[in-house]
Amino acid sequence: MAVEGGSDGHPSRRMPHVILTAAEVEAAVDDLIREDVFVLDIETTKAKPRMNELLWVGLGAAGRNYLIPCGHPKGRMIRPDHKERTAACVLYPNDERGLTKQGKPSMRMVEHTVAATYEPPPKQLHAREVCDLIQPLLFSDAGKLGHNVKFDLQSLAKYYGNVIPPGPYHDTIILRHVLKEDLDSYGLKELAAEWYKIPWKQRAAWYPNLGEKGVENFGLDQIARYLGKDLRYCWQMFQSFYPMLERRGVRTVYDFEMAVYPVIMDMEYEGFPVDTSQMGKVRSEILVQQAEVQQKVWTAAGNTFELNNPAAKRWVMFGEGRQVYGTVVDQDSPNFGKPLRTKPLKSQGLRVLTRTKETRQPAVTQAVLEFYAERGNSMAELFLHWSLLEKLRGTFIEGLSGHLRYPAFGLPTIHTSFKQHGTVTGRLSAAEPNLQQLPRGTVIRDLFVAGDGYDLIVADYDQIELRCAGYASQDPEMVRVFQEGQDIHALAASVMLGIPIDQVTKEQRQVGKTQNFGTLYGAGEERIAAVAGVSKARAAAFIRNYFDTFAGLETWKANELRLARSRGDRADPLHVPPYVLIPPNGRRRRLPDLFHTDDWQVWRAERQAINAYVQGFASNIAKLAMLDLHPLLKSYPAKMIVQVHDEIVVRVEKDATKEVLSLVSKTMENVRNPQGDPILGEIPLVASAAIGSSWAEAKQ
């Protein structure tokens, strides 16, 4: 049944047919179960699958949609909310009950909003009854299509004994991301508006996001039209873009990501236990670290100021414009926030790399700070560290409680959302909360625990990105080092400093580590000089020694950038951009700025190209390990609960810990390419696994 137009839900719009009987649901199931793929979209009370309640089920395929309300609280809208003018009244307080009573009307007219009015809701099927009726369809072999369909399937799982309906799955978010990895938004409304070329100013009215405001706050007719649009645009997008995968040579990338999809669904649904009793201790430790970074910034800047003040940060980094003074930061002082005119802030006097579009002020973005940090600027490093601590504090201390689910028994859990479309390299990202933000060694990892009767197994790959670079470059010395199990960072330091490897200190090893990663991601002699505490001339000599030994790395990087440029059209880089092919399945990272005329933009693009190749390759290896491990863990009382960068976390009952520990390590080390050969050829994969009662303890 076609869904009629009407974006604003006005009562004059014809209401699409909604299903209110079991017989109609059964007929819809009989119709759709014969399709290879059907579209699924549900509307719920909350955004968390474990905690929400089902209000609508939408099912559809070519040319028809089935809209099933199951607990929607409002009927059809009679009249939308509107403005009215009425006579003002004097209100007198009633102190006894804290109420007011109406006084004598005045002649003055005032405007006020009158809430929308609705018919009573019709009799609807209960959510559980609807789920029973559609179970044959959801558990059939038909493909389940949706825009973030894992949310819909996870939300429905509670009605099926916490079993997520099986695949095959199709997700239009991942479909669009594989075809174009750097869109500003992958929301269905934004994608549909872009597709139909709707002007920005008209988009909100054309396709209002009623779900964001809570579908229970709108009339039955409004949500029927809204859900119908969701179903229709998702279906049309899939039909239009799915054939493009084959034509553009990225079908294997999409198939691979959809194979990983159920692994991620299970991981999200399981959740990670959290020990909230540790919250106060962790908060204190974070605040101490922030205070230390803050003091270093103030000392270098010559005065105190709020570190989140953009004007002060711009001045401290670039010194452009009117001189900026420090400010009083003591919140108990009556002068809090006022300038300290006696001491202007010291500026680093750095070159402005990029400016904001509207105000043309120097931009102090993370990319700009990283650029200068890699060149040894300590203020940029401090600002980056401060920013990280602020994110950790805001997300995992102040904001964590909003993400917790409290089961009937046991510790509360968080169910982070892992995104396969959140990065341009294909690396997983996360939200609500963002576990990818948690660097190793952070005290916040103390909050994430196994719980009584369980252990955590935390396994990660050793130097996976350098191993990927060694495989790609086939540098003989790198291949030899990894085959013999040597410490690549200690060896790099030994080569650079001209000393025997067994004499390399911990601090010197850090110099080698910095150079190893600097070679991949663009750090130069300034960074090495800062880390090693030597002059730039001496650092340049260290780097020459390094490249004399690992000559294949620079040759590979140059060849990879040449290949990327050869795939693009310099005359039309936006439509035919140069791109990097990420092993083993050919994911593309498109980089028009490889043809830019500005040195800063070219440097960024070249850095992003190599970063995409290496990080994307490493991410694919981790995903292949997850694919291999997921079915094997079903034979044990164990669940994979987190994947962060090169790290996999498994929660296991204590009696099975040792057996699962061995299984995890061996599986991660035995990853194969699509042809069945070791993924890195002659270079071995090495995975280190440890056991702990908390995430932090397992990685000590």
Binning pLDDT at 50, 70 and 90, where does residue 516 land? confident
Q: Which CATH architecture has domain 22-76+123-248?
A: 2-Layer Sandwich (3.30)
* Tokens standing for residue 554: 């620079």
pLDDT at 700: 66
Cα separation values, 406 from 158, 176, 278, 532, 681, Å: 15, 35, 17, 49, 46
Q: Dump pLDDT digits (tens) for 427-444.
A: 999 988 888 878 777 788
Binning pLDDT at 50, 70 and 90, where does residue 90 land? low
Q: How far is the C-alpha of 458 from the C-alpha of 661, rounded, in Å?
A: 9
Mean pLDDT of 238-258: 97
Which among 122-136, 183-197, 358-372 has the top mean pLDDT?
122-136
Q: How far is the C-alpha of 54 from the C-alpha of 44, rounded, in Å?
A: 5
Mean pLDDT of 267-284: 91
Q: Report DSSP state, residue 395.
A: I
Q: At what angle do helices 536-549 and 488-497 cross, to 10 degrees?
A: 120
Give burial (CB, 10 Å; 0-12/13-18/19+) of 54.
buried
E strand residue ranges, 77-179: 77-79, 82-94, 99-114, 117-118, 143-146, 169-171
pLDDT at 88: 66
Q: How far is the C-alpha of 688 from the C-alpha of 699, rounded, in Å?
A: 10
Binning pLDDT at 50, 70 and 90, where does residue 113 land? confident
Measured in degrees and rounded to the nearest 5, phi and psi for residue 564 equal -60, -45
Q: How far is the C-alpha of 376 from the C-alpha of 374, rounded, in Å?
A: 5
pLDDT at 624: 98
Residue 652 has pLDDT above 90, yes or no: yes
Lowest-pLDDT range of 20-34, 330-344, 589-603, 656-670:
330-344
Cα separation values, 695 from 230, 275, 319, 691, Å: 40, 11, 43, 9
- Pairing status of strand 143-146 against strand 37-44: parallel
pLDDT at 11: 46
Residue 170 has pLDDT above 50, yes or no: yes
pLDDT at 200: 86
Binning pLDDT at 50, 70 and 90, where does residue 91 land? low
Q: What is the mean pLDDT of the chain?
A: 89
* Four-way CATH pick for 276-400: 2.40.50.100, 1.10.3720.10, 3.40.50.300, 1.20.1060.10: 1.20.1060.10
Q: Give the class (CATH, top level) of 466-577.
A: mainly alpha
pLDDT at 523: 65
Residue 506 has pLDDT above 70, yes or no: yes
Binning pLDDT at 50, 70 and 90, where does residue 6 land? very low
pLDDT at 64: 92
pLDDT at 450: 96
- pLDDT more than 90, % of the chain: 60
pLDDT at 4: 37
pLDDT at 106: 63
Q: Supply the CATH classification number for the domain 411-464+618-698.
A: 3.30.70.370
Radius of gyration over every alpha carbon of the chain, rounded to an integer in angstroms: 29
Q: Dump pLDDT digits (tens) for 436-476.
A: 878 777 788 999 999 999 999 999 999 999 999 999 999 99
Residue 333 has pLDDT above 90, yes or no: no
Q: How far is the C-alpha of 477 from the C-alpha of 552, rounded, in Å?
A: 9
pLDDT at 474: 96
Which residues lie below 8 Å from residue 371, measured CB to CB, with a gap of 6+? 353, 380, 600, 603, 604
| b (16+ CB within 10 A) / e for 426-441 | bbbebeebbbbbbeee
Residue 500 has pLDDT above 60, yes or no: yes
The full DSSP string for 434-487 is -GGG--TT-GGGGGBB--TTEEEEEEEESSHHHHHHHHHH--HHHHHHHHTT--
Domain ranges in the chain are 22-76+123-248, 81-115, 276-400, 411-464+618-698, 466-577
Residue at 309: amino acid letter: N
| Between 103 and 484, residue with greater pLDDT | 484
Q: How far is the C-alpha of 514 from the C-alpha of 264, rounded, in Å?
A: 33
Q: Which residues pair with 143 in a beta bridge?
A: 37
pLDDT at 96: 54
Mean pLDDT of 203-216: 89
Binning pLDDT at 50, 70 and 90, where does residue 13 land? low
Measured in degrees and rounded to the nearest 5, phi and psi for residue 451 equal 90, 165
Give burial (CB, 10 Å; 0-12/13-18/19+) of 344.
middle
- Residue 53: CA atoms inside 13 Å, Cβ hemisphere, count? 12
Which residues lie below 8 Å from residue 591, measured CB to CB, with a gap of 6+? 564, 577, 578, 579, 580, 605, 608, 609, 612
Cis ω before 105 (30° cut-off from 0):
no
Residue 625 has pLDDT above 90, yes or no: yes
CA atoms 617, 621, 626, 628: torsion sign: positive
Q: How many CB atoms lie within 10 A of CB 502?
A: 7
Residue 185 has pLDDT above 50, yes or no: yes
Lowest-pLDDT range of 155-159, 337-341, 513-517, 565-569:
337-341
> What residue has token string 């995890």?
664
Mean pLDDT of 273-281: 90
Which residues lie below 8 Å from residue 354, measured CB to CB, with a gap of 6+? 362, 363, 365, 368, 600
Binning pLDDT at 50, 70 and 90, where does residue 251 land? very high
The full DSSP string for 597-629 is SSHHHHHHHHHHHHHHHHHHHHHHHHHHHHHHH
pLDDT at 89: 64
- Under a CB-based contact definition with an 8 Å cutoff, are residues 649 and 458 in contact? yes
Q: Dump pLDDT digits (tens) for 55-85.
A: 999 999 999 999 999 999 999 999 888 777 7
| b (16+ CB within 10 A) / e for 597-634 | eeebbbebbbbbbbbbbbbbbbbbbbbbbbbebbeebe
pLDDT at 242: 97
| Between 8 and 228, residue with greater pLDDT | 228
Binning pLDDT at 50, 70 and 90, where does residue 531 land? confident
Q: Dump pLDDT digits (tens) for 476-487.
A: 999 999 999 999
Residue 102 has pLDDT above 60, yes or no: no
| Between 99 and 576, residue with greater pLDDT | 576
Q: How far is the C-alpha of 663 from the C-alpha of 640, rounded, in Å?
A: 12
